[in-house]
Amino acid sequence: MEKNIISIKNLTFTYGKESDDKPALKDINMSVKKGEFVAILGENGSGKSTLAKLLNALIVPKDGEVFINDFNTKDSSKLWDIRQTVGMVFQNPDNQLVATIVEDDVAFGPENLGVEPDEIRQRVDRSLKAVDMYEHRLKEPHRLSGGQKQRVAIAGIIAMKPECIVLDEPTAMLDPVGRSEVMDTIMMLNREEGITILLITHFMEEAAVADRVIVMNEGEIKMDGTPKEVFSDVEKIRGYGLDVPQVTELAYILRNQGIDIPSDILTVDEMVDCLCRLR
């Protein structure tokens, strides 16, 4: 059985110091196994981004504990190990691009880790190839498209060789082409490189390709299961202010019209197959 890379125990987190301040997270217990692809959904204010920051020790809990590869994030002597284990990619790639040339930007992280120059060169080339941006290595980042910038930001994280990448709405500012490019990259890193992925997203179709979906609401985990398990409960999902993938919504409508069709359809191919069988 795969070991847990993330373990959260009895976690409650409040930003304010007053006793009556509303917690951003309430009694969170969850774990993520190495190599898993987990999508995290929830309305604004549900606690998703707070959870992401806790995983990288950008903030530290007072009540409860977060373990990354058995390192407690409260242990400041393990901060280096934790941040090497969990890389973060944020919504706006411009906030993560620091150099004037793409390959210099990707080299920034390994340089700060004290990696030898020859090894840095290898990591930069490998990381840019992994996200299909090697041919752009000598370009200026500000001349790239939104999707390309985000892929460079992801390459910068890959170059630091994390075991896990937490992506906080990485496609929110991108057009459909850019979103597709970034999602292809994320899936490749998980499926081919074995990197653990935690994807915070507002796009249900993105969550549908994950191994597991967690739904948060008002600082609590409300649902946790496979995409088919979670999205098949359309009414419950809607109760938390969320949608379901469009094809799942269509299946829901057809079932309500008396058509015998499964409630856990997630893809167009599945829908076509079911409709063909009804003929």
Measured CA angle at 166 (ends 164, 168), to 5 deg: 170
Over residues 179-195, mean pLDDT: 90
d(CA 6, CA 55): 8
- H or E element, residue 278: helix 268-278
H/E element, 95: none
> Above pLDDT 90, what percent of the chain?
60
Closest listed residue to residue 46, CA positions, set 234, 221, 237, 165: 221
pLDDT attached to residue 201: 93
pLDDT for the residue 269 = 87
Quote the pLDDT of residue 20.
Answer: 67
Q: What is the pLDDT confidence band of residue 3, given thresholds at 50, 70 and 90?
A: confident
Q: Considering only 13-27, 32-46, 84-98, 216-230, which range has the smallest mean pLDDT?
A: 13-27
Mean pLDDT of the chain: 90
Distance separating alpha carbons of residues 167 and 187, to the nearest angstrom: 12
Average pLDDT over residues 153-173: 90
**Of 207 and 20, more confident:** 207
To 10 degrees, the CA torsion angle through 198, 202, 207, 208?
A: 180
pLDDT band (50, 70, 90) for residue 105: very high
- β-strand partners of 89: 167
* Cβ contact 150:170 at 8 Å: yes
Sequence-separated (6 or more) residues with CB below 8 Å from residue 117: none
pLDDT at position 184 over 70: yes
Give the pLDDT confidence of 69-78 residue by residue, as tens digits. Answer: 989 999 999 9
pLDDT tens per residue, range 245-260: 888 998 888 888 888 8
Cα–Cα distance, 162 to 87 (Å, whole number): 6
Give pLDDT, residue 101: 94
Rounded CA-CA distance 105/147 in Å is 16
Distance CA 152, CA 143 (A): 12
- Taking the model in full, what pTM does it have? 0.88
d(CA 11, CA 65): 6
- Sheet with strand 71-72: strands edge to edge: 25-33, 4-13, 63-68, 71-72
Residues forming beta bridges with residue 217, ordered by sequence position: 220
Q: What pLDDT band is residue 130 in, cutting at 50, 70 and 90?
A: confident
Q: From CA 26, how far away is CA 147, in angstroms rounded?
A: 34
Choice among 31-40, 119-128, 153-162, 268-277 with the minimum mean pLDDT: 268-277
What does the alpha-carbon distance between residue 279 and residue 268 come to, in Å, rounded to a whole number? Answer: 17
**Dihedral, CA of residue 184, residue 181, residue 51 and residue 246, to nearest 10:** -80
Residue 18 pLDDT: 65
Question: How confident is residue 165, by pLDDT bands cut at 50, 70 and 90?
Answer: very high
CB of 63 closer than 8 Å to CB of 12: yes
The type of residue at 27 is D
